[in-house]
Amino acid sequence: MKYLLTCLILFLTVEASGQSTVEQLPSSASTSTWWDTKKVKPRVALGYQKSFFTEVGVAKHWSGGDMVIPRSTALYSSLEWAPSSTGSVYGIKVGAETISGMGIGGLEVKYQSNLKVDDIVITPKLGLSLLGSLSIFYGYNISINKSPFDHVGRHQFSLALLYDKSDWKDIF
């Protein structure tokens, strides 16, 4: 225990002493870049949750940072369709996503119905993203109405695209 405490104090002392000098980046190396933007973008997604689903909507997308550690946030709403031989399920959802580096996390709330039974689903999501424009997710559906649809499972995998020509033009 004494050894661990000594190492911890030594580490904190070295770390704190290294923080005393701050170098300013030259103005040409600023962390603001060409993609500091606030845009409304179309959002499309495809996925699987015991069956195929697709969604189309619109997102308000804020992005910034630099090319080393990009950061962005998106608020979106979309319409979802999950076809099935036992009856399609339609949904309206709102969600939020935040990206730092290549990691992305999100939360969405969805009202879904097959026009006979309805449900509200909360889905936390984690995944990987390319500058917030192209993202792959794993989500876990939490149903308020005990999962009334047999072809809408708890586990969800999806691929989402926030499309804007200028994002892709500047990258490639």
Tokens found for residue 165: 């020509």
For 49-84, write each residue's pLDDT tens digit: 999 999 999 999 887 776 677 788 899 999 999 998
Diameter of the chain measured on Cα atoms: 67
Least Cα distance to 118 among 126, 110, 109 occurs for 110
For 81-113, write each residue's pLDDT tens digit: 999 888 899 999 999 999 888 899 999 999 999
Residue 166 banded pLDDT, cuts 50, 70, 90: low
145: CATH: 2.40.160
Torsions phi, psi of 10, nearest 5? Answer: -60, -45
Is 81 part of any domain?
yes
Is 11 part of any domain?
no
Is 12 part of any domain?
no
Is 79 part of any domain?
yes
Indicate the number of domains in the chain.
1
Is 7 part of any domain?
no
Query: Which amino acid is present at 94?
Result: V
The answer to whether the CB of 50 falls within 8 A of the CB of 151 is: yes
Domain with 106 in it: 34-167
Is 142 part of any domain?
yes
- The predicted model gives 140-163 an average pLDDT of 91
Residue 142 banded pLDDT, cuts 50, 70, 90: very high
Q: How far apart are CA 142 and CA 126, in angstroms?
A: 15
Kind plus residue range of the DSSP H or E element containing 80: strand 70-82
Is 26 part of any domain?
no
The answer to whether the CB of 54 falls within 8 A of the CB of 48 is: no
Is 13 part of any domain?
no
Tokens found for residue 172: 């490639």
